[in-house]
Amino acid sequence: MNKGRFLMLLVCCQLFLLACDSQPSGKDEIDVKVENLLAQMTLEEKVGQMNQYNGFYDVTGPAPAEGDAKNKYEHIKSGWVGSMLNVRGANEVRKMQSLAVDSSRLGIPMIFGFDVIHGHKTLSPIPLAEAASWDLEAIEKSARIAAIEASAEGINWTFAPMVDISRDARWGRVMEGAGEDTYLGSRIGVARINGFQGDDLSAHNTIAACAKHFAGYGFAEAGMDYNTVDVGTVTLHNVIFPPFKAAIDEADVKTFMNSFNIINGIPATANKFLQRDILKGEWGFDGFVISDWSSGAEMIAHGYAKDLEHVAELATNGGSDMDMESYANIKHLVKLVEAGKVKESTIDEAVKRVLRVKYELGLFDDPFKYCDETREKELIYHADHMAAALDMAKRSIVLLKNENNVLPLAKEQKKIAVIGTLADDKDSPLGNWRMAGEDNTAISVLEGLDAYGVNYKYAEGAELVTGPTAFPVELEINTTDKSGFKEAIALAKQSEVVVMVLGEHGLHSGEGRGRANLGLPGVQQELLEAVYKVNKNIVLVLMNGRPLTITWADEHVPAIVEAWQLGTQTGHAVAQVLFGEYNPAGKLPMTFPRHVGQVPIYYNQYSSGRPGPKTEVFWPHYMDESEKPLYPFGYGLSYTKFDYTDLNINVLEGRKVEVSVVVTNSGDRVGEEVVQLYLHDKVASVVRPVKELKGFEKISLEPSQTYKVVFTLSEKELGFYNGQGEFVVEPGDFGVMVGTSSVEGLTSEFELK
Ligand code: BGC
């Protein structure tokens, strides 16, 4: 190249670099726009962005008296409403949005939030069931489809995923999370957010996600919803926080929701430590925080705020940016700023966060981009969505017991009895938190068997009371009516195999649906035992939104299939698993207790000072029940068999450890296996759990096929948070287990220098 051309190239390069330099990036551009808009806003309009109103249906909590429709319309037109929840349908959203865009002074679009929890109209399995798949790709796809359907109905923000870790099956909301484990919960939370938000948030078919409930909500004492949370800093930093932090670091989640509970004496909604120091400070979260439904006003009952004005002051200063259904901000924030109790700069900071997300969604470019009736018609219940929901449903099923290979059943099998009212239910399998879902739209188990061409006879056996449906709440979930027993017993007597579909109704779990008993509700246990007396060849298909204490069934019944609440495609999924068209591969995301008295029970416990020998009285155990779980975390069988060999550990430079294992399908069917890696930091400055999941891989193997799984552990997996919330990696000895569940695998150890 001659000198002249070289100089020319140099100049061109410099010009190009200059151009890049002066051109603000997408984020910077948005910041400029946000600042410009903010400069034009009155204090009232700013406060409006911190206010969310509920639509006119789907109330999920007590509705305040002020919530009448007329006020809301006027407030929207005045620019005092930044967001609505529970408005859906392209047409409805357009009408509401045009009030804000066409009638308010600055025409700032509203953001429309909705609980899109497990699917939207096409319902996928409840989140706890999806978690049992350990299949991140399928889970992300499920959230993607939910976003496609929700955005076609005008929605651009979901209040999901719930990433609360919970170890207490009594808590009704375990159905909405990913179970008891922080590592699995973090991975699943990230997958869900990626599914909702996609690659491009400004696209018309992606929606903003919300990591909730920050923080500690899943640790409500005694598993009772809304109850007090009191946890130490080590649990907070190592168990509760990581899924929230991963939501920011790994998925750029746009919003957070705080929670109803107090945590260590301070309500989460006004908790500066959580929202200002950790979330917006240490973690650098730049989205916005919404309160939970009236969680602001509830600080009065907690004894933290004296009145609603105090609520607005405490919540806003505490880092809560938008008020859902407390009516505190809209009523009091302007006054509070004028009185100097809340700084205008604090309001500005909150408003900027809200506006930024609206810009990122592209709402300022086209506020009506989610309101397209053609898309709505085409996409809701799309055949591809149904197919994906079926795939997800099959992946969520866990085979808990299969003595003498009772399963899979043969289609040609004569005389199959199906017993249990849940088998004939088209509603319960949809589960709770299916806000846009239409009642009775699930394929029931009976319909699934029909479609699969199975000959069977059916008896209801016992009815199941629905549980709380609306306000006022009906608490009774049990029935004492045994009039159906006779027919069921007679049918069982003349059958070769009895498929019993028992469990909870879909509305026995979810918000406000705590249970102090974890057995089968109503007379179902009696029904099971009565049928067993005449026919022992029972396949129990469980439908439930939480772990249940099915200890008797485990001792007696030869085959048990955990089928949760699997959504729209339930019946097809169950039929395909029962008859072997699909080989189940799910693994439990939550420990099943033997007895409710063991709860909270979870696999990653600390060792007591007296782990054994277990020959005397004075060690941690019960006198009247085993201390062991019924089914441990990570457990689940297959119709084939997987052998683990050749566990190998390599400590590498730079604090990396490579762990490999060879897995062989030694059975005669193709099958999937979730290979799980658990670590134990044996001696540390803060005592570490006896084992912790730190890696997993789901593999599919043909009969006789062998596969080597390699995990690479880095500081992230090897370290932990100490009592000061600092992340530390300490040298020393580590135990490793790689296997098929949290209690079964090959073990070895290594030393970290
Ligand atoms: C729940 C939230 C939900 C909100 C809006 C509250 O009762 O706790 O998780 O997003 O209602 O429906």
- pLDDT beyond 70 at 475: no
Average pLDDT over residues 75-82: 95
Average pLDDT, the chain: 93
Q: How far is the CA of 293 from the centre of ligand 1 (A)?
A: 6
Q: How far is the CA of 603 from the centre of ligand 1 (A)?
A: 29
- For residue range 564-600, what is the model confidence (pLDDT) as tens digits? 999 999 999 999 999 999 999 999 999 999 999 999 9
Q: What is the bridge-based pairing of β-strands 732-739 and 671-681?
A: antiparallel
- For residue range 621-662, what is the model confidence (pLDDT) as tens digits? 999 999 999 999 999 999 999 999 999 999 999 999 999 999
2 — pLDDT class (breaks 50, 70, 90)? very low
Distance between CA atoms of residues 305 and 634, nearest Å: 43
Which carries the bigger pLDDT value, residue 470 or residue 202? 202
298 pocket-lining for ligand 1 (C-beta < 6 Å): no
Question: Where is average pLDDT lowest: 103-112, 377-386, 404-413?
Answer: 404-413
- For residue range 318-357, what is the model confidence (pLDDT) as tens digits? 999 999 999 999 999 999 999 999 999 999 999 999 999 9
- pLDDT beyond 80 at 6: no
- pLDDT beyond 60 at 63: no
- For residue range 390-442, what is the model confidence (pLDDT) as tens digits? 999 999 999 999 999 999 999 887 799 999 999 999 999 999 999 999 999 99
25 — pLDDT class (breaks 50, 70, 90)? low
Fold entry, domain 642-752? Immunoglobulin-like (2.60.40)
Average pLDDT over residues 364-373: 97
Nearest to 351 by CA among 35, 30, 29: 35
Atom of ligand 1 nearest to the CA of 160: 10
Architecture of the CATH domain 42-113+288-372: Alpha-Beta Barrel (3.20)
Q: DSSP secondary structure string, 172-219?
A: GGGGGS--S-HHHHHHHHHHHHHHHH-S-TTSTT--B-EEEEETTGGG
Q: Looking at the DSSP assignment, which residues form a beta bridge with residue 158?
A: 114
**pLDDT in the model for residue 19:** 40
Atom of ligand 1 nearest to the CA of 260: 8
159 pocket-lining for ligand 1 (C-beta < 6 Å): yes
323 pocket-lining for ligand 1 (C-beta < 6 Å): no
- For residue range 130-155, what is the model confidence (pLDDT) as tens digits? 999 999 999 999 999 999 999 999 99
At how many degrees (to 10) do helices 182-197 and 136-152 cross?
A: 40
Q: How far is the CA of 129 from the centre of ligand 1 (A)?
A: 20
CATH superfamily of 397-598: Glycoside hydrolase family 3 C-terminal domain (3.40.50.1700)
Sheet containing 456-459: order of strands: 398-402, 559-562, 538-543, 497-503, 416-419, 456-459
60 pocket-lining for ligand 1 (C-beta < 6 Å): yes
- DSSP helix/strand/coil, 17: helix
Q: How far is the CA of 291 from the centre of ligand 1 (A)?
A: 9
CB-based burial of residue 618 (10 Å sphere; 0-12 exposed, 13-18 middle, 19+ buried)? exposed
**pLDDT in the model for residue 117:** 98
Helix (H) or strand (E) holding 660: strand 656-665
202 — pLDDT class (breaks 50, 70, 90)? very high
210 — pLDDT class (breaks 50, 70, 90)? very high
Strands of 378-523, DSSP E: 398-402, 416-419, 456-459, 497-503
Distances, alpha carbon 619 to alpha carbons 180, 608, 615, 635, 691, in Å? 25, 9, 9, 26, 20
4 — pLDDT class (breaks 50, 70, 90)? very low
115 pocket-lining for ligand 1 (C-beta < 6 Å): yes
Select from 53, 60, 295, 509 the residue to mutate for testing ligand 1; criterion: most ligand atoms less than 8 Å from CB.
60
Residues 6+ apart with CB under 8 A from 27: none
212 pocket-lining for ligand 1 (C-beta < 6 Å): yes
- pLDDT beyond 80 at 167: yes
Instruction: Calculate the CA 689 to chain-centre distance.
Output: 24
- Count of residues in the chain: 753
Q: Which ranges in 494-628 belong to alpha helices (H)?
A: 524-534, 551-556, 570-578
Which active-site residues does the annotation give? Answer: 292
- pLDDT beyond 80 at 312: yes
Nearest protein CA to atom 10 of ligand 1, as residue: 159
Question: Where is average pLDDT lowest: 455-464, 540-549, 599-608?
Answer: 455-464
Percent of residues, the chain, with pLDDT higher than 90:
89
Task: Report whether 567 contacts 190 (CB < 8 A).
Answer: no
Percent of residues, the chain, with pLDDT higher than 70:
93
Task: Report whether 724 contacts 232 (CB < 8 A).
Answer: no
**pLDDT in the model for residue 597:** 98
- DSSP helix/strand/coil, 63: coil
Task: Report whether 738 contacts 659 (CB < 8 A).
Answer: yes
Average pLDDT over residues 601-630: 90
Distance between CA atoms of residues 385 and 148, nearest Å: 10
**pLDDT in the model for residue 468:** 60
- pLDDT beyond 70 at 122: yes
Q: How far is the CA of 294 from the centre of ligand 1 (A)?
A: 9
Task: Report whether 579 contacts 454 (CB < 8 A).
Answer: yes
**pLDDT in the model for residue 10:** 43
Task: Report whether 361 contacts 35 (CB < 8 A).
Answer: no
Task: Report whether 525 contacts 464 (CB < 8 A).
Answer: no
61 pocket-lining for ligand 1 (C-beta < 6 Å): yes
Nearest to 411 by CA among 581, 645, 601, 231: 581
